[in-house]
Chains A and B, each alone.
Chain A
Amino acid sequence: MNCEVCELKELVVEQFEIREVLRCILHTIIFHRALGLVRPRDINCELFELTYVQCGVPEVEKEIEEKITEFISKISKHPNRRSHQVCLSFYETKDKQPAWFSSKTERVYWERWFINLQITNQRVNMKPNQTKVGFDPGEKLSSLEEKLHRTALETSVRENLFQIIKFVNEKMDHLPHIPPNAEGISYPYEITILSSSESSLDMLKRMLQTGHQTTLS
């Protein structure tokens, strides 16, 4: 079984935009991989003129919110680092031969998604709708820059969503068998936050070294 990897296009976001952007992308990916019976929920983005879809499973929503909170707190501890990655992985649990001091099961990853974010510090301490008192000649320029940034980010998020659609439509053979009578989430997944110093390639190397090997078909 192949482990298909999808690197999404990098998104340039401000701190207050991280949550909404990650919600949009993570929920979209999981919706495409929750192949059990789902009742989709349309969510209108707070920041953009964009509607994405959730699979409607409360546990998924809760876990995503927790992970996003964890991500935000991690990046706040490293304000100098700008590039960050969130990895969403789907795996199968397989039994392996029991050995001393090792687990009986192992995770076999068959798909990984890397969400790349570049955090800008233009208005780290400012709220989205904060206005300044008095006329500032630079205020018009900053509001124009803000609009340009918001438009560009919305376009990038849309491109990410189209990229997800394209990927899931092109690669289907690696998907494991869907359990019968599955409801909601059909495949187990995990969300990991990569440090900025660790790239996706480094992560794969680390996995190979620790024994989480993926078998090639």
Chain B
Amino acid sequence: MASTQNSETPATEQVITEIFAKSLHIILESRSPYVSSRNYSLDQIPPSPSSSGGSPSTQPGGSRDKWFNLALRECPAALQNSDFWRQSNLEPLVIEILLVDRVSGTEKLLERWVVQYETRKHPGTGRKSKRTYRGATLLFRSLYLLVRLLPAYTLFREMNSSGRIRSLGLSHRIQSFVNPLTRSEEAEMAHLCLTPIDTPFGRLKHSVSYLSVVDDISIGSELSTPMSTELIPDYVGSPTTDPLKRFQTLPLGGSAPICVQPGRRHSWSTDRLGSLNLSPCSLPTHSDPQRPSIPLPLSEVQKGKRPVGCYPSSLSSPQKANLFRCESAPVSRDSERNQLVRFGELPSGVSLPKEISIGGDAIRYLDVAKLPLASGSCVGGSNVQLLDLHDSDANYPFASDDNRTKNYEGERSLAAIVGELLRMLETAPKLQIGFEKSDGPDQNPNPAHSGSRTAANALEELRSYMHMRDSILSQSGSHSLEPKPEKESNSKGSNSEKEMKERNRP
């Protein structure tokens, strides 16, 4: 146990030590996002308080949370640093709460808490240890409330309430010395002192210097916007942006990312460097000189990978097609760049589930082999990866010949793309019913031929049914309308036969 110079009694020494520990616990519990026990479930709280007063540290498990009759849940941040200052109670405990910019690494001091033991000039005039304990009990009630009234608690609450990774975060630093504040810090900080706790040979003082206003906080010269969210006017999809930019990279086959909702507002930042805003949705993005700056709606960017997002990207090679797949899809990550992943057609032994939920958002994959289509929501925290398909030999029914739609500059105009799509829809063969029966895209190289067989078979079947009907009617003795339906059906059948033959003509 740490000792003081004027040899407080062992009981008082223990109380002083626990005062330091409790102070650290209360402060860090409400200033350390994501590691605070506040995120723990209530089930972890012991059901009923045990006897109060005494020495909770002697209880099984060594829990000190009930010291000073204030039962707190465990705080990992406090436990990690509990031994730092135990070397001597004479050294002050200095806890600095910092606002950290994870991108630039700069820090801004929000609060500085100082707990310091001072010896008395005239020993023996102080209180007994019991009175010290009671004084500490009263002080910690106030301290517990005070940490929640200061402006930094609002930041803590915001960061804890949202599960997103932000560019700004709260951090803390624990020291045994007090760095003098700069002039600017002195000017903008307010100070509070709680009534000292008297001990027989000294007293313990709690004080805090805090930034009184955090609304317009800024770190260095990069940040100038407040913590509240702000609108980004030039988001992709906005009427003010170039629409061609948006459709420039439609994938082959017209498999547009349906997850993109036109007109939807997104608040992510497009520019990582330069002015960073403090919007909770601002996210670091990878810069790619080959790609236009496209905002990314995700809360997580994977290192070393291409920027993720639900938006199509401009590609150098027009033959590449982009598909969006769920990160949780059972596809090998190593081969994601070169491996063809088409919904409905999978490498052998791999089955694609019909429905994959990502963070609560369901993405459904159609069962049909020929449609590389993804529908559903893929924004708002879902991890979606952009893949490149190198397989240009894929027989997509909606695949188009790029040469037809390119102009001299090699760019595809919007009208050309739409026209191509319409053309494909008009000439597309019928979809085969039943995925298990389909043999893959390489089968049925001549869609027209398969179509004629189908029509002919249907025609024959129709004739057989008509013959059966005639026989039934003749048996029943009915003579009305027999010639007419036969003639009409025959004419229809002959017409359909003629149409099919005309189609089959080269």
Q: A residues near B, CB below 8 A?
A: 28, 31-32, 35-40, 42, 44, 49-53, 158, 161-162, 165, 168-170, 172, 175, 178, 180-183
Contacts and interface: CB of A to CB of B under 8 A. Distances in A.
Query: Which label, helix, strand, loop or mixed, suits the secondary structure of the A interface?
Result: mixed
A39 B71 contact: yes
Given A53-B145, A181-B51, A37 B138 contact: no
Contact of B139 (A42, A169, A181): A169
Contact of A161 (B52, B144, B145, B194): B145
Interface in B181-211: 194-195
B126 interface: no
Contacts of B69: 35-38, 182
A78 to B, nearest CB: 33
Given A38-B70, A39-B71, A178-B134, A168 B148 contact: no
B149 A162 contact: yes
Which of B45, B51, B52, B53 has the most C-beta atoms of chain A within 10 angstroms of its own C-beta?
Answer: B52
Interface of B: 38, 45, 49-53, 66, 69-72, 134-135, 137-139, 141-142, 144-146, 148-149, 153-154, 157, 194-195
B148 to A, nearest CB: 5
Contacts of A178: 134, 137
6 closest A-B pairs (Cβ-Cβ)? A37-B52, A169-B195, A37-B49, A39-B71, A51-B148, A37-B69
Given A169-B194, A181-B51, A35 B137 contact: yes
A178 B53 CA distance: 10
Nearest to B156: A51
Mostly, the B contact residues are helix
B151 to A, nearest CB: 10
Contacts of A183: 49, 52
Contacts of A31: 141, 145
A52 B142 contact: no
A52 B52 contact: no
B141 A36 contact: no
6 contacts: A37-B52, A38-B49, A39-B49, A40-B70, A53-B148, A165-B145
Contacts of B70: 37-38, 40
A179 to B, nearest CB: 10
A172 B53 CA distance: 18
A158 B154 CA distance: 14
Give the one of B71, B142, B154 with max A CB within 10 A.
Answer: B142
Contacts of B135: 172
A128 B50 CA distance: 43
A50 B139 CA distance: 21
